[in-house]
Structure 1
Amino acid sequence: MTVAPLGLVIFDVDGTLVDSQHDIVAAMAAAFDAVQVPPPSRAEVLGIVGLSLDVAMATLAPTLGAGDHARMVVAYKSAYMDLRAQAGVAESSPLYPGARAALEALRARDDVLLGVATGKSKRGLDKLVEGHGLHGMFQTLQCADFHPSKPHPSMLLTALAETGVDADRAVMVGDTSFDMDMAQAAGIAGIGVGWGYHDRSRLSGARHVIDRFEALPDVLDEIWGVPA
């Protein structure tokens, strides 16, 4: 029996593992209120999920200056933390159906390591991991504090370096075009999810698109090949 080399499955967070859209939209409204500008639509806000906050603000409010963008980032973070504290992580950012079971099943495999690449801050990611009891689940955690915004490949290249996994044995699972473009830039396969914040039409860079977590193992076997 051939032993397969280690594979690395890297997950986006918002829109992929958890549904945090209510708090994201509400926090963005607070950010725009801080600079007395009407907020964008829900669709526009969800369209930038995954970008680092500084890039997101510049994208949503291109006519404002850097000072206003900085104030918006501060207001967004404050509002998001308040909303999370009021409701608790499990309610404000619930796991999507099948997410926990999929993570646990992959974590139990001897040939798979798990990772995260998210536009969240380290503090936000730590709170999410704590709130959902996911300590020890991931071998590499990459977040916005230490990398350029998606779709720059820095997060994924660092994840590969930390785990020692080759690019052809890694996949990026995400719901946005930013995730798929990041995967392509890093030379790894992208797996899009159909339940997230970007329409399927924007996931053209994905090797595969799945509509439920239960489909992920078969897609991994197809990408990596099943050991004889």
Structure 2
Amino acid sequence: MTTDPLRLVIFDCDGTLVDSQHAIAHCMDHAFAQHGLDCPGLENTRTIIGLSLPEAITKLASPARVDEDIIAAVTAAYKTAFFTLRQTPDFHEPLFPGVHEVLMEIDGRKWLSGVATGKARRGLDAVLARNELEGRFVTLQTCDNHPSKPNPAMLMAALEETGVDAPNAVIVGDTSYDIEMGRAAGMIAIGVDWGYHDVDTLHKSGAHAVISHFDELTTALDTIWEIDRDAA
């Protein structure tokens, strides 16, 4: 009798679990304007969601000449703006459909689940608390302790923390940064088509599969991992 290996499903946050694009774009425009820089707007901001804040702001500021002090100041202004926005009564950062259901299915499979995000831990904790997801993940990796995606450091830390081998782990994300990070870590990389990078970009980045709803996730993984559920 063989024992199924321990498996781990790691989710990106922004654009995968929660639809945060409008809040992020609003705060980014506010932070840029506060320091006399051209506001990037929603479409440009969507392209950098998932990166750590300093790297995201550096990309959005180009080709303007900005030094490290300006990047740090805009980063701080963004954090303050987002914290303030989060306190407003009408703040809205909704979960995408199917999040709770897919987590229950993962639990039923006795797989582990985690998060790897470009958010700071404070921001991630706020998202989890607001959406009744506290305690649902066994590993939480954020930009506080790791370099920005697509560097695989967050995923490598999650693997070490859980004891799961890379081929038995998957990153689920909406951007090329997630896919490239997963491939660099030797993990399965699943793209989602409801986020901030288009499907063609996800495939070109090396996604093993792209799904259109969370209820497709475990079936896609069964196929990739060659799990016969009927025989299980």
**Do both proteins adopt the same fold according to a TM-score greater than 0.5, normalized to the shorter chain?**
yes
Q: Which residue of 1 aligns with 2:149?
A: 150
Distance 2:156 2:11 in 1: 14
- Could you say what secondary structure the match of 1:126 adopts? helix
Matches within 5 A, 1:20-169: 20-62=20-62, 63-87=65-89, 92-110=92-110, 112-169=111-168
Whichever residue aligns with residue 67 of structure 1, its letter is D
Deviations 1:148-207 (A, max 9, x none): 000000000000000000001000000000000000110111000000001112102100
Using the alignment, how far apart are the partners of 2:2 and 2:152 within structure 1? 31
- Give the number of aligned pairs: 225
Amino acid of the residue matched to residue 172 of structure 1? Answer: I
CA RMSD of aligned residues (A): 1.2
Distance in 2, matches of 1:86 and 1:105, equals 33
Verify the 8 A CA contact 2:118 2:149 in the aligned structure 1. yes
In the alignment, is the contact (CA less than 8 A) between 1:194 and 1:210 conserved in 2? yes
TM-score (norm 1): 0.95
* Aligned counterpart, 1:224: 225
CA–CA distance in structure 1, aligned partners of residues 72 and 165 of structure 2 = 37
Q: Is the 8 A contact 2:29 2:41 kept in 1?
A: no
Q: 3-state SS of the aligned residue for 1:86? A: coil
Paired residue type of 1:21: Q
* 5+ long unaligned stretches in structure 2: none
Q: Distance in 1 between matches of 2:136 and 2:27?
A: 28
Partner of 1:11 in structure 2? 11
1:109 to partner: Cα distance: 2.4
* Aligned mates of 1:158, 1:87 — CA distance in 2: 36
Contact 1:22 1:92 (C-alpha < 8 Å) held by counterparts: no
Q: What's the CA shift for 1:2?
A: 4.0
d(CA) in 1 for partners of 2:58, 2:89:
29
Q: CA deviation at 1:84?
A: 1.2
Q: Note the alpha carbon deviations across 1:111-139, whole angstroms, 9 max, x for none.
A: x0001000000100111111111122101
Task: Show the counterpart of 1:174.
Answer: 173
List alignment gaps of at least 5 residues for structure 1. Answer: none
| Alignment-mate amino acid for residue 70 of structure 1 | A
Q: Are the counterparts in 2 of residues 17 and 95 from structure 1 also a CA contact under 8 Å?
A: yes
Deviation for aligned residue 1:41: 2.7
Question: Are the aligned partners of 2:22 and 2:42 in contact in 1 as well (CA < 8 Å)?
Answer: no
What is the deviation of 1:3?
3.1
The question of whether the paired residues in 1 share the 8 Å contact of 2:9 and 2:169 is answered with yes
1:10–1:114 contact (8 Å) kept in structure 2: yes
Q: Note the C-alpha offset of 1:19.
A: 0.2
- Contact persistence 1:9–1:171 (CA under 8 A): yes
